[in-house]
Amino acid sequence: MAISFQQISSAMPVESAQIGYMPPVDNINAENLMSLVAFCQTKGFDFVVSPINAPGYRRVLFESDDPQSPEMMTWRAGQQAFTPEDLVLRTADHSDYIVGTISDWQNCDSPDTKVRLHSELALKQQFNWVSHLGLGGVMLPYPPSTEPLTNYGRVLTGALSILPYTTCWFKVPCMDEILERDVTEEAQGMKSWERWNSLRNMAGSDSKLGVALELSGALPSDAVLDRWFAEPVKVIVLPEDVFLTNNKGYPVLSKRHQHVVRKFIKFKPYFIISSSSFPKLTLDEFSDDMLEHSFASPHADYVRYLHRTQETPGVIDQFAVGYQDFLQAPLQPLQDNLESNTYETFEKDPIKYQQYELAVERALLDRPIPTNGEPDITVIMVVGAGRGPLVNCSLRAAEKAGRNVRVYAVEKNPNAFVTIQNMKANVWGDRVNIVFSDMRTWKAPEKADILVSELLGSFGDNELSPECLDGAQKFLKPDGISIPANYTTFVAPMASNKLHSDVATFKDLAHFETSYVVMFKAISLLAQPKSIWMFEHPNRTDIPMDQGKWALVEQLDNHHNVRSGSIEFTSENSGMIHGVAGYFESVLYKDVMLSINPETHSPGMFSWFPIYFPVKTPLYVPAHSQVVLDFWRLTDTRKVWYEWRVSCKMEGVGEIHSTPIYNVGGRSSSIGLF
């Protein structure tokens, strides 16, 4: 049985690049195909690209035949099979090693009705033959730049169902030289993406259609290439003529091409080395070419070298293995008790606790030393203590600052509290008082100088830090310090065909009205994130610091924690919006920060992944248009939820696209207050 390219990918070691060879297709025929396969195997290629049909198959256009030709009528009726002369791939031999290509003379959008119809019928006949052979992959040619894609998109969308087990790659040049002639340098390359995007939208974002992106000597800007990182780029095609020759005579890529290829390597694509010359397949065993013939391809070796010499994955990349572009539900620590392995995962983050320790140390140093005989003890309350990492941070900070502290560790999770009891018995001793209680209802025996919490979520406030700290604020002194002091939420319009397709597999509205924590990989931001709202602690404006007023406050609502914002972005290049990316920045104390915002990300920190808010119907955004993100954080007596809307407008035109408001009233997703 033929092995699929997905199986090949999973069977190969992670460090192995899969590289194919594509000679000029016009030189490949049924007679030399097996010799070509043997040549490619000798040269170390993992697969070879070959036309499915011989040039003679063009006969099915019946360009000079009478409209009532009996032969044409028979073929149209599907009653005429391939002849051997029609085919290059005549048998299933080496079907697990060959990627087929569809004939490029087919034109489903031709103004000629007969050419249009016969191109459609030929494509379906070729797809049926590919399915019969069990080919692992098939490559679709890039239609002429001057032709529309509408009918081609319809035909292709319908025909893809013929290939249930075959990977389909649409070959796209990164620069369409014909369409780019009058385009500014900054936008060059977008026309190719536009044509792919048009075809993909017709086929549907959840189709099996992938991209074989062909790199050229001139490359688009990083901003344009960034659009491709959100697309299903399965193959990078490298023509031999984009390679340079180094002083030792070996092919190499320019630094710019190396940079681009290395970025794509992270997405684990296949590579194809395309050649403008056909190799010598038959050699005299005594010829000078015989020795060279037995060597591996220097172009393939170079690509493997780039793959092998990738930067060593950083802490975040190592941690993210298995999580990248994987949809996860945000934690609900008030509603659910976290499991031990969840705590353990978070506790492995050295940066977060390093910053917390620094913040507590600086806060301790800033506390005035008593001069009137009062006890020189600073009271630190760690609320939501989990298994105790912030307690350890506080004790280490006190030792560094040379201050005496009395620490309270407050935790409501009965399972985590078992660990805390063990820590007190075996490590902390009398330095720490442990309390099994919800911080919002605990009656503290004394006031705290410093309140330390670890309640932040990927969106800043989505794990109910504001609500929790409102309740804990009652046992903070009037001049007390909260760590964190504030946190700001950031949003940005984003494209990700992968994430949108994953949400679409659920086939309901509820999953499009749910936010997901995701370690982003195959995404593209259409603009840099902007802040949308902020929370500060202690909240002296809405929550009284006077203990006597708390009996009244506890009967009040949560509306002071409602937030809303409408943020406008300009997209310099065209793109698709598949949702909204969310991030946060937090000031722990003065200049000590934590951030997952890309521009200010805390190096090496992995405790939080960004958050993804999907939209059901992706929006097309023209170049230089404005994207408006409307967000609401809303609440009632039992829950908190988010609502969101995305719209696009153009100067002088007004709004051109918009989504409905998602998750109205928290109907699909919310965060429980109890």
- Which residue type sits at 197? N
- pTM (global) more than 0.85: yes
Average pLDDT over residues 127-132: 96
How confident is residue 1, by pLDDT bands cut at 50, 70 and 90?
Answer: very low
Annotated ligand binding at 194? The verdict is no
For the chain, the domain total comes to 3
Local confidence band at 530 (pLDDT 50, 70, 90 cut-offs): very high
90 shares its domain with 205: yes
Is the model's pLDDT at 544 over the cut of 80?
Answer: no
pLDDT in tens, 196-249: 999 999 988 767 899 999 999 999 999 899 999 999 999 999 999 999 999 999
Give tens-digit pLDDT for 468-522. Answer: 999 999 999 999 999 999 999 999 999 999 999 999 999 999 999 999 999 999 9
Mean pLDDT of 105-116: 92
Clarify whether residues 338 and 276 are in a common domain.
Answer: no
Shared domain check, 504 and 428:
no
Spot the catalytic one: 214, 463, 467, 585.
Answer: 463
The verdict on 449 and 531 lying in the same domain is: no
Provide the domain limits for residue 260: 5-309
**Cα-only R_g, the chain:** 31
Regarding whether 659 and 552 lie in a shared domain, the answer is yes
State the Cα–Cα distance between residues 96 and 91, nearest whole angstrom.
Answer: 12
532 inside domain: yes
Catalytic residue among 361, 454, 513, 643: 454
251 and 346 inside one domain: no
Q: What is the pLDDT of residues 27-53, one digit of tens each?
A: 999 999 999 999 999 999 999 999 999
Residue 353 labeled ligand binder: yes
DSSP letters, 64-94, are TS-TT-HHHHHHHTT--PPPGGGBS--S-TT
Is there a domain that residue 321 lies in? no
Classify residue 476: in a domain, yes or no.
Answer: no
Cα–Cα distance measured from residue 470 to residue 560, given in angstroms and rounded to the nearest whole number = 10
| pLDDT higher than 60, residue 562 | yes
The answer as to whether 323 is a domain residue is no
Q: Which residues contact residue 232 at a Cβ distance below 8 angstroms, ignoring those fewer than 6 apart?
A: 209, 210, 211, 497, 498, 522
Domain shared by 427 and 504, yes or no:
no
Please tell me whether residues 95 and 206 are part of one structural domain: yes
If asked whether residues 352 and 247 sit together in one domain, one would say: no
Task: Check whether residue 80 and residue 213 sit in a common domain.
Answer: yes
352 is in an annotated binding site: yes
Report if residue 21 sits inside a domain: yes
Is 112 marked within a binding site?
Answer: no
Query: From the CB of residue 404, how many other CB atoms can be counted at a distance below 10 Å?
Result: 12
Q: Is residue 316 part of a domain?
A: no
Q: Has 643 been annotated as catalytic?
A: no
Question: Is the per-residue pLDDT at 15 higher than 70?
Answer: no
Distance CA 339, CA 346 (A): 11
Which pLDDT belongs to residue 9?
A: 39
Q: 411: annotated binding-site residue?
A: yes
Q: Which pLDDT does position 294 carry in this prediction?
A: 54
Altogether, the residues listed in the chain come to a count of: 674
CB atoms within 10 A of CB 97: 20
* Strand locations in 515-610 (E): 516-517, 524-525, 530-536, 563-571, 575-589, 592-595
**What span, in angstroms and rounded, lies between the C-alpha atoms of 33 and 554?**
80
* Residue 225 in tokens: 């290439």
- Taking the C-alpha atoms of residue 425 and residue 432, their distance in angstroms, rounded to an integer, is 10
Query: Is 10's pLDDT higher than 50?
Result: no
Q: Which residue has the higher pLDDT, 372 or 582?
A: 582
Q: What is the CATH number of the domain that holds 171?
A: 3.20.20.150
Residues 440 and 512 placed together within one structural domain of the fold: no
pLDDT at 348: 87
For position 263, what pLDDT does the model report? Answer: 94
Q: Are residues 370 and 253 part of one domain?
A: no
User: Residue 549's domain is classified under what CATH number?
Assistant: 2.70.160.11
Question: Would you call 463 a catalytic residue per the annotation?
Answer: yes
